[in-house]
């Protein structure tokens, strides 16, 4: 009856045969060596100048945080600013004032009604005297330089780097979360650095990253920071990409779509039951958000984490593929990703490769043009194939692009346009 388990915060949370042995999983925080570097720095107060100094010297910084996959990471200091630092606290953009100093959050479909001095489900937005504030503006708890393929975005500037940042907090609580130590924490419970939008954009530029990625936790909960950072990035010619669960209301989504350049959505299943029991969210608003993104011309890719026995039936794969084709279009990339046991789902095995291949076969048969397998390094389904001539137009090994056979967004063999944002 009693089900006690232990997962350690900041500990490598993959099983021994998990992907970190060879390569990090999609959207996972980089590996333990980053945390080791934090430990060595973390005991002392780490001010903004030190942070920028470290972050601004890519060669040095990359070495500090280099991980098995070879991607650089940036060091953040522990407690670099006090919890009540007013620099982090900015009035939230979407909420409604209610009687008796209560508020209703209008950012995500959960619509938390929050008493004075209380926070919403995300843990990073607080009612103070009847006004609602984000506590994580410019309050970055993770900053790494990742290949854009790790997000994964396969049709958006392939082979480029994304300056990837996160704050604490999330508006769902997936039982399989690989970054739960930041996503399920409050900002004062994790190490943070002050990184205002312009400094973030500058760092991306200095590190030759054409894009900033808002990722690892759930960027919707640091919505205000994300929009401000995207604006600062655009001023320097830097794109912004969002890695999200897509659990957001329509109004904030529409405004966000004006500011960012691509969104990768984790479509966690194609059933409300799974969303309720495993995600603590709802499917319907996510589907509505996806339709809106596409209507607004946002470049969108989907990831579907295949969890054995929970969302891996043929019927669900088929229904998903049919819905994507009819509502988003056959050219929207769909990544079936491999699950590894962690956080609150340690009782299930990793996804068998055969299951992933079955999912891909079904989606291919339904007519989707770009179906990938993720967290399966070396698999041929990591490559992009021309939907017309079936030749490889982008060859990948893990997160690295080995060869590209695209010319101005077209297959160089048959001139078939390949959907995506290429230049």
Partner 1 sequence: MRQRLEPNRREFLKKCAAGAMLAGGTHGLPAFFSAREKTRVVNAHDPLLRGAGSSLDSGRLLKMLDRSVQALYATDSPLEAWKKVARPGEVVGLKVNGLAGRGISTSVLLVEVVCARLQDAGIPQKDIVIWDRLNADLESAGFRNATRQDHMRCFGNDTLGYEEDLATYGSVGSCLAKTLTQVCDAVINLPVLKDHGIAGVTMALKNLFGAIHNPNKYHLNVGDPYVADVNMLPPIRQKVRLHICDATTAQYEGGPSYMPQWTWRYNGLLMSRDPVALDYTGWQILEQERAEKGMKSLRALGRAPDYIATAADPNHRLGTNDPSQIEQVEV
Question: Can you say how many angstroms the Cα of residue 309 is from the centroid of all Cα atoms in its chain?
Answer: 24
**184 lies in the site for partner 1, by CB under 8 A:** yes
The candidate with the shortest Cα–Cα distance to 180, out of 399, 351, 18, 27, is 27
**141 lies in the site for partner 1, by CB under 8 A:** no
**139 lies in the site for partner 1, by CB under 8 A:** no
Cα angle, residue 336 at apex, residues 333 and 342 outer, rounded to 5°: 135
**280 lies in the site for partner 1, by CB under 8 A:** yes
Contacts of 378 (CB under 8 A, 6+ apart): 397, 398
Cis ω on the peptide bond leading into residue 152 (within 30° of 0)?
A: yes
Place of tokens 């989606």: 363
Q: How far is the CB of 78 from partner 1 (least distance, A)?
A: 11
Q: Measured between alpha carbons, how far is 125 from 297 in angstroms, rounded to an integer?
A: 30
Q: Measured between alpha carbons, how far is 354 from 176 in angstroms, rounded to an integer?
A: 20
Q: Which stretch binds partner 1 (CB under 8 A): 118-126, 221-229, 247-255, 312-320?
A: 118-126
**8 lies in the site for partner 1, by CB under 8 A:** yes
**244 lies in the site for partner 1, by CB under 8 A:** no
Pick one of 185, 244, 249, 337: the residue that binds partner 1 (CB under 8 A).
Answer: 185
Are 133 and 95 in contact by the 8 Å Cβ rule? The answer is no
Nearer to partner 1, 147 or 169 (CB): 169
Q: How far is the CB of 113 from partner 1 (least distance, A)?
A: 7
Q: Which stretch binds partner 1 (CB under 8 A): 64-72, 183-191, 315-323, 356-364?
A: 183-191
**1 lies in the site for partner 1, by CB under 8 A:** yes
Contacts of 328 (CB under 8 A, 6+ apart): 290, 291, 294, 300, 302
Q: How far is the CB of 5 from partner 1 (least distance, A)?
A: 5
Place of tokens 């997936």: 174
Nearer to partner 1, 123 or 246 (CB): 123
What residues between 50 and 109 interact with partner 1 by CB under 8 A?
A: 83, 100-102
Q: Measured between alpha carbons, how far is 170 from 250 in angstroms, rounded to an integer?
A: 18
Pick one of 4, 16, 86, 423: the residue that binds partner 1 (CB under 8 A).
Answer: 4
* Interface residue list for partner 1 (CB under 8 A): 1-11, 83, 100-102, 113, 115-123, 173, 180, 184-186, 188-189, 280, 343-344
């Amino acid at each position: 009856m009693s089900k006690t388990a232990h997962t350690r915060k900041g500990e490598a949370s993959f099983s021994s045969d998990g992907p970190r042995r060879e390569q990090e999983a999609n959207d996972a925080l980089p590996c333990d060596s980053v945390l080791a570097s934090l430990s060595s720095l973390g005991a002392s107060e780490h001010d903004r100048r030190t942070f920028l100094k470290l972050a601004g010297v890519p060669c040095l910084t990359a070495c500090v945080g280099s991980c098995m996959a070879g991607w650089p990471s940036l060091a953040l200091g522990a407690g670099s600013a006090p919890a009540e630092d007013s620099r982090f606290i900015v009035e939230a953009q979407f909420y409604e004032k209610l009687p008796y100093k209560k508020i209703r959050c209008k950012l995500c479909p959960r619509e938390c009604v929050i008493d004075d001095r209380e926070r919403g489900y995300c843990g990073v937005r607080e009612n103070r005297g009847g006004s609602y504030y984000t506590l994580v503006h410019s309050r970055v708890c993770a900053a790494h330089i990742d290949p854009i393929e790790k997000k994964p975005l396969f049709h958006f500037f392939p082979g480029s780097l994304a300056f990837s940042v996160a704050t604490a907090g999330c508006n769902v609580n997936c039982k399989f979360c690989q970054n739960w130590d930041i996503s399920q924490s409050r900002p004062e419970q994790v190490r943070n650095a002050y990184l205002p939008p312009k400094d973030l954009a500058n760092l991306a530029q200095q590190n030759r990253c054409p894009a900033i990625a808002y990722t690892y936790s759930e960027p919707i909960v640091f919505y205000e920071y994300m929009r401000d950072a995207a604006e600062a990035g655009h001023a320097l010619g830097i794109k912004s990409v969002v890695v999200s669960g897509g659990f957001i209301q329509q109004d904030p989504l529409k405004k966000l779509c004006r500011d960012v350049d691509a969104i990768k959505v984790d479509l966690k299943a194609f059933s409300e039951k799974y969303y309720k029991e495993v995600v603590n969210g709802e499917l319907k608003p996510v589907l509505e958000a996806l339709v809106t993104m596409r209507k607004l011309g946002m470049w969108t890719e989907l990831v579907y984490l295949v969890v054995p026995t929970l969302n891996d039936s043929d019927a669900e794969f088929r229904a998903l593929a049919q819905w994507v084709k009819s509502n988003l279009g056959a050219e929207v990339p769909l990544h079936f990703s491999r699950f590894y046991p962690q956080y609150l789902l340690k009782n299930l095995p990793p996804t068998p490769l055969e299951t992933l291949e079955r999912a891909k076969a079904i989606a291919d048969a339904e007519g989707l043009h770009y179906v990938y397998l993720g967290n399966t390094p070396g698999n041929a389904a990591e490559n992009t194939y021309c939907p017309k001539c079936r030749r490889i137009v982008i060859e990948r090994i893990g997160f690295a692009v080995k060869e590209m056979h695209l010319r101005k967004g077209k297959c160089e063999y048959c001139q078939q346009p390949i959907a995506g944002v290429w230049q």
